[in-house]
A and B are shown apart, each in its own frame.
Chain A
């Protein structure tokens, strides 16, 4: 199993205040750049007449040759009984293979635009000191994921796509629509007032799907240098899903201090 090592800094350096912005936030900066570049690839066409990617995250055509389709959306289409053309099937297969190789929730963190909103909500929640609300069970998203497929099969339409905030937001950004503000605003308020980190980690069926897909991926984040951990808890503070840190860092049977 290949692994990208994340160097864990020695205590003195990790807690030193003199670190540059890049050192402190390089993963966030890289993630935001990736999200922005993907958005720009779709927007350069309508804005500057330079067509790189057409369509949106649901299904797209890059440089006129590379089809990409959301595999979850394709599953829902198949659940309705419709068998799409080869373009969509190929596109979904490419995306599927990519996320089977590069795992975790890379789609959610590096591609999906919604986490900009939910991160902003979490930041505001921290700043305003809001502690209210009730976080739903993290399994809700799997029920919702199943629900989207069942709803497609029962209604014979892509039921979830009427309200799916992920595709709705991305489509709105690319095609310039205002209605998505309602749903995205709803998610912001939900994460701010009702459930801390509620949407991405507990409800979103798209995230649940990519989470399942990435579980057995070849390339995943690992902590081979976990011996050097000095329990400064910085990672717990910044991580939107801190429950994933403990098994990676402190699992029983692993070498850890």
Chain B
């Protein structure tokens, strides 16, 4: 056994010192390259797994689109230091946000929208774009009223808190009046978000009075849909050109609906056959059940 080993070693040595050195060199290079590549690959895979921004994390104002942001941000935290309200925080290892990058969570604390935008000025790399000089143009995220079932205004109550706290009130959030089919005699004032004015500061989500906010602010990519680029809205084109671009169309009657408008063409003037003029209605029997227009909620006073 011993002799066998010795012969083997002798043979190896006999090959030539140069080839032995070469073998050792190749071995060590292979090990080093393998180890290095494995570590780098691991880091790369980990970075891929967390490169999608989670729904509740909002970037500071002026942040580049997420992919570009992750290339530009050096995770120095200068924006965090210069935020006068301590709103921003750096992501910790294991958070779903890329390690060391700045973000804030609207429900915890919302952006105060400083007019001089100190966080953007602090950024040394341009991950926060200095092109943003008017904070009202910021697009940190987009609010969406996600839960129509628990929103108090949708229940017909007058909460309005998200609307009142909005720094871009009446532009980013408006109250749209709608008939309340449940009471049949009241209005619902529905908070409605407009994407061209919403900065995503998070005030509405922060202030929502419910235990779980009915209005939430998401990164724009999550909150916003997009029409296909080739879509044209007929009514807009019509207005722009001062008339239909495809000439007069045959108007077909609307069928399949029960009720006062059934069978009438869309363009036909409403004669309201079921709702006689008030002058005629007044003397008629007041107890007669009247079918109101719209959805019948079966609500009786």
A interface residue numbers (CB < 8 A to B): 45, 54-56, 58-61, 67, 69-70, 73-74, 77, 80-85, 87-88, 91, 136-137, 139-144, 146-148, 150-152, 154-163, 167-168, 171-172, 174-175, 177-180, 182-183, 203
Chain A contacts of B28 at CB under 8 A? 137, 139
- Asked if B67 is at the interface of the complex by the 8 Å CB criterion, the answer is yes
Q: Give me the interface of B with A, judged by CB distance under 8 Å.
A: 28-29, 31-33, 35-37, 39-44, 46-48, 50-51, 67-68, 70-78, 80-82, 89-90, 92-95, 98-100, 122-126, 130
Find chain A residues with CB under 8 A from B67 CB.
Answer: 156-157
CA distance A97 to B125 in the complex (A): 20
Question: Which of B75, B95, B126 is close to A85, meaning CB atoms less than 8 Å apart?
Answer: B126
> What are 17 A-to-B residue pairs whose CB atoms are below 8 Å?
A58-B74, A59-B124, A77-B74, A77-B125, A80-B71, A83-B126, A84-B74, A85-B123, A88-B74, A88-B125, A150-B40, A155-B44, A157-B71, A167-B75, A175-B80, A177-B90, A182-B94
Q: Is the CB of A151 within 8 A of B44?
A: yes
Instruction: Give the CA-CA distance A139 to B30 in the complex, in Å.
Output: 10
* Cβ 8 A contact of A88, one of B47, B77, B124: B124
**Chain B CB within 10 Å — which of A73, A141, A144 has the most?**
A144
Nearest CB in chain B: distance from A160 CB, A? 6
Q: Assess whether B125 is in contact with A171, with CB atoms less than 8 Å apart.
A: no
> Does B32 contact A82, Cβ atoms closer than 8 Å?
no
Among residues of A, the one whose C-beta sits closest to the C-beta of B49 is A162
Q: Which residues of A contact B40 (CB under 8 A)?
A: 144, 147-148, 150-151, 159-160
Q: Which residues of A contact B50 (CB under 8 A)?
A: 162
C-alpha gap A180/B37 in the complex (Å)? 23
A156, closest chain B residue (CB): B71
Please name 12 further chain A to chain B contacts, defined as beta carbons within 8 Å, in addition to the given A151-B44, A179-B92, sorted by A numbering: A59-B76, A69-B74, A81-B71, A143-B32, A143-B35, A150-B40, A154-B44, A157-B67, A157-B71, A162-B98, A163-B46, A179-B93
6 closest A-B pairs by beta carbon, nearest first, are: A143-B36, A147-B40, A179-B93, A59-B76, A80-B71, A84-B125
A136 and B31 form a contact (CB under 8 A): yes
Q: A55-B81, A158-B70 are in contact. Are A175 and B95 (CB under 8 A)?
A: no
Closest residue of chain B to A78, judged by CB? Answer: B71
Tell whether, in the assembled complex, residue B39 and residue A147 are in contact, meaning their CB atoms are under 8 Å apart.
Answer: yes
Does B99 contact A168, Cβ atoms closer than 8 Å? yes
- Taking CB as reference atom, which chain A residue is nearest B33? A143
A161 and B31 contact, CB distance less than 8 A: no
Check B46–A77 contact: CB distance below 8 A.
Answer: no
Q: Given the complex of chains A and B, what is the CA–CA distance between A203 and B36 in angstroms?
A: 8
CA A70 – CA B95 in complex, angstroms?
24
Chain B residues within 8 Å of A177, by CB = 90, 92-93
A151 to chain B, nearest CB (A): 5
Contact of A161 with B35 in the complex, beta carbons under 8 Å: no
User: Nearest A residue to B101 by beta-carbon distance?
Assistant: A161
Chain A contacts for B48, CB-based, 8 A: 155
Q: A151-B43, A155-B47, A177-B92 are in contact. Are A82 and B71 (CB under 8 A)?
A: yes
Q: Is the CB of A160 within 8 A of B43?
A: yes
Judge whether A82 and B72 touch: CB under 8 Å: yes
Residues of A within 8 A of B68 (CB): 82
Question: CB-CB < 8 A to A144: which residues of B?
Answer: 35-36, 39-40
Q: Which residues of A contact B29 (CB under 8 A)?
A: 137, 139
| Chain A residue, CB-CB nearest to B48 | A155
Q: How far is the CB of B48 from chain A (nearest CB, A)?
A: 7
Q: Cα distance A248–B244 when bound, in Å?
A: 89
Per the bound structure, the CA–CA distance linking A81 and B64 in Å amounts to 14
Chain A residues lying within 8 Å of B76, measured Cβ to Cβ, are 55-56, 58-60, 69
The interface residues of chain A lying within 8 Å CB-to-CB of B35 are 136-137, 140, 143-144, 203
